[in-house]
Amino acid sequence: MPSVCCYFQVHQPPRHRHFTFFDIDKGVAYEDEETNMQILKKVAEKCYLPANRIMLELIREYKKEFRIAFSITGVVLEQMQKINPDVLDSFKRLADTGCVEFLNETYYHSLASVYSIREFREQVELHKIRIRELFGQNPKTFRNTELVYNNDLARTVEKMRYKAILAEGADHVLGWRSPNHVYQPLGCKKIKLLLKNYRLSDDIAFRFSNRQWPEYPLTAEKYAHWIHQMNNGDVINLFMDYETFGEHQWKDTGIFDFLRAFPGEVLKHPDFRFQTPIEVVTENEPVAQLDIPNYISWADMERDLTAWIGNPMQTDAISVLYGMEKQVRRKKNAGVLDIWRRLQTSDHFYYMCTKWFADGDVHKYFNPYQSPYDAYINYMNILADFDHTLKGKGLYHGSR
C-alpha cells in the first residue's frame, strides 16, 4: 500500500537592519525587530493561520487518516512566541491531534553540519528540547537545513539515534532509481533515508500558479491521478516550504481550495494512505543502500550548496563567521553564543547569492537587499562589530 508523506518546512529568519561601517562600535542592534514583526504577522495572516485551520479541519474530517509532518526552526518559534502566540497555539492544536509529526533540525537553520560538528550537535539538541517543550514530542526524524545531506551527515545523525533522515531526490544521485522507495545511507546500519519527489513537490510549490505551465490549472483531482499512477513504490514524499500555501502561492490562485480537496482525492483510491516520515520508515525496509558522498540540498537546479557558498563573498563571510567559534566559546557567555548562532542562519548567505536565469528569480524574490554585494557588506560590517565585542572593544552585547 503506497503512502503519501507530506512534510512542510516552517522558517522565518532573523533579518538584519541596515548596518553601516559607521555603526561599528556604536552599540547598534543587529536585527531589525520591526521588519521581523511585520513579516511574521503578514505571513501568519496569509499562510500559517489559514493553512493550520484547514489542516486541522482535514484531520478531523478524514478521522485522522490525513497525517502530515512539520519542521519548525527555533528562530521562527522564538518569533511566534514573542510576536504572534496565536500561530504557535495553532501548531499546538495540530500536535494534539496525534496526526502530526514534528521533525528535528538545527535550531538556528544553520550550515553548522558543514563547518562544525560540535556546533551542529548542540543546535540539534537545542531544537529537540524546544520541540519537546512546545509539542510534547521527542523527534525521531531528522531533516537538515534546506535538506543539506551527504553520507557523513547520515552517519553522524545515526549516532545521534535518529531513525529517519530526509534528503532531496536529486537525479544526479538517484540515476535510474526512483525516489518513491525507502533507502539506507551508505555506511549506516539502522537509519533510513526518505527522498523528496521533487517533480510532484515542485508542481505545487513553484508551478501551481504559472499560467504558462502546460498542466495549468492544477486541480486536486488531476494531481491525485498523477499520484495514483505511481503505485509501484513504497512512498511518495511531498516536501515543501509551508509558506507555499498563501504566501508563495497567494490565496487568489486557488491554493487553499486545492489543499482542501487534496486529501479526499488521494484517499478515493483504496490502496493509498497518508503517513508521517516515522510511520513510513517503521513499516518499510530499505530497498538498497544509496551512496551520496558529496553534499546535496533541495535548492536550485544544481541541488548542491552553491546557493549559500557559491561565490567568494559567501565563502569569505561564512569562513570568518565559523572562524570565530573558539573565541566565542572561550567567552563562556550565553548571550555572546546566541548572537554568534543567530548570525549562522543560512538566509544571510543566501542573500549574497549571485546566481541568475531561473534560479535568480527565486533569489531576488527572497532578498531584502538591493544586490548580493549589499548583503555581503552589511553582513561583514556586523561581523566586524561582533569581532570587536569578542575582543572586548565593542559596546554591543545583545542581539535583540
Name the DSSP letter for residue 120: H
Number of Cβ atoms within 10 Å of the Cβ of 246: 23
pLDDT classification of 355: cutoffs 50, 70, 90? confident
Render pLDDT for 285-339 as a digit per residue (tens, 0 to 9): 999 999 999 999 998 888 899 999 999 999 999 999 999 999 999 999 999 999 9
One domain for residues 334 and 258: no
Domain-embedded: residue 376: yes
Residue 162 in domain:
yes
Question: For the segment 127-159, what is each residue's pLDDT rounded down to a tens digit?
Answer: 999 999 999 999 999 999 999 999 999 999 999
Boundary (domain end) residue, out of 258, 290, 322: 290
In terms of residue numbers, what domain contains 251?
A: 3-290
Residue 297 within any structural domain of the chain = no
Statement to judge: residues 272 and 380 lie in one domain? no
If asked whether residues 75 and 139 sit together in one domain, one would say yes
The answer to whether residues 8 and 149 belong to one domain is yes
Kindly report the pTM of this predicted structure.
0.94
Neighbours of 173 (CB within 10 A): 20
- DSSP letter string, 283-304: H---SSEE---S-B-SSTTTTS
Is 65 labeled as catalytic in the residue annotation?
no
pLDDT at 396 over 90: no
Residue 397 falls inside a structural domain: no
Question: 140 and 212 share a domain?
Answer: yes
For the segment 210-223, the average pLDDT, to the nearest whole number, is 97
How far is Cα of residue 90 from the mean position of the Cα atoms in its chain? 19
Domain assignment present for 303: no
E-assigned strand segments in the chain: 3-10, 68-72, 100-102, 141-142, 164-168, 184-185, 192-196, 235-241, 245-246, 249-250, 273-274, 289-290
Cα-based distances in Å from 319 to 12, 106, 312, 369, 390: 23, 19, 10, 21, 17
Catalytic: which of 31, 101, 146, 168?
A: 146
DSSP state of 45: I
The CATH number for 222's domain is 3.20.110.20
Q: Is 9 part of a structural domain of the chain?
A: yes
Number of domains observed in the structure of the chain: 2
Q: What is the per-residue pLDDT across 174-207, written as a single tens digit (0 to 9) for each? A: 999 999 999 999 999 999 999 999 999 999 999 9
* Distance, C-alpha 353 to centroid of its chain: 18
Residue 333 placed within a domain? yes
Do both 230 and 354 map to the same domain? no
What percentage of the chain carries pLDDT values higher than 70?
Answer: 95
Pairing of strands 273-274, 3-10: parallel
